[in-house]
Amino acid sequence: MNSWEAFLLAIVEGLTEFLPVSSTGHLSMAKALLGIKDSFSETYIIAIQFGAILSVVALYPRRFFSFEYNFYLKLIIGFIPAAILGYLFDDQLEALLGMPWVVPAMLVSVGFFLVFADRFFPGSEEEEIQEVSNKQAFLAGLSQCAAMVPGVSRSAASIIGGMAAGMNRTTAAAFSFFLAVPTLAAAGLYKVYKNADAIADQNLTQLLLGNAVAFVVAYLAMKGFVQFLKKHGFRLFGWYRIVAGLAFAAWLYLQ
């Protein structure tokens, strides 16, 4: 993987991590289209999530540095399901990443759900971030576990789970951002620990630059996403997923 490819992957990570389109799915597609097959790339796409994590803290500093016990408690409650299932089924999840047809299948199937999601969870432009209960935090965290299947989207799963638990769209999106911090940090640290030997001195530079790019792009993507979601809902994301999934399936078929 050269520097140009690393730069493109960092852009994809930043753009897709917090949108309901699946960052894992898009990174898998990008790697396949670019022909990236080296082992370090697997560590790289996990490690640059730290840049995306920092963008959440930068966008909501008052939340993360308020030292409010209830806020941190809700993040822990929401994080527990993913921590347990991720640890228990790590090998099986790794195997799914090696099945290329899983990504387009999940992109299309979840895409159809998002096309009709606004009928079940209508919102308004006046929505404000509300307090999240412990039960809502747990249900959103439980829902995000569906994203352990490549192509589902952690953001889509946790937002839909949050709304199903009674949050409005703005609150569900914001809590999905917040929940990404412990979830992605734990996954990233675990992956980097398991693959520490793959990080050589020359690769460290790519990691630092990749995190910087992911930070900037993710920050901008999050700022625009909440406003877009208020006005337009999920439908366009759903149609995008369907088109992208079908296109990737066609590309895989022709290989």
Sign of the CA dihedral running 169, 109, 239, 156: positive
Tell me: the pLDDT tens digits for 76-91? 999 999 999 888 877 7
Least confident piece of the model among 8-22, 61-75, 111-125? 111-125
* Entry pTM: 0.88
* DSSP symbol at 48: T
Q: What type of residue sits at position 55?
A: S
Q: What is the rounded average pLDDT of the residues 174-200?
A: 82
Helices (H), 17-68: 23-34, 40-47, 49-59, 61-64
Model confidence at 192: pLDDT above 80: no
- Cα angle 223, 12, 116 (rounded to 5 degrees) comes to 65
CA atoms of 232 and 251, how far apart (whole Å): 30
In sequence order, the 6+-apart residues with CB closer than 8 A to the CB of 138 are: 77, 78, 80, 81
Residue 246 confidence (pLDDT): 96
194 vs 27, which has greater pLDDT? Answer: 27
More confident residue, 111 or 203: 111
What is the dihedral sign for C-alpha 86, 221, 130, 53? positive
- Give the tens place of pLDDT for each residue, 205-237: 888 999 999 999 999 999 899 889 888 889 999
Measured CA to CA, the distance from residue 108 to residue 128 in angstroms comes to 31
Q: How far apart are CA 124 and CA 109, in angstroms?
A: 26
pLDDT band with cut points at 50, 70 and 90 for residue 125: low
pLDDT (0 to 100) of residue 238: 95
For residues 208 and 75, the answer to whether their CB atoms sit within 8 Å is no
User: What is the CB-side half-sphere exposure of residue 8 using CA atoms within 13 A?
Assistant: 17
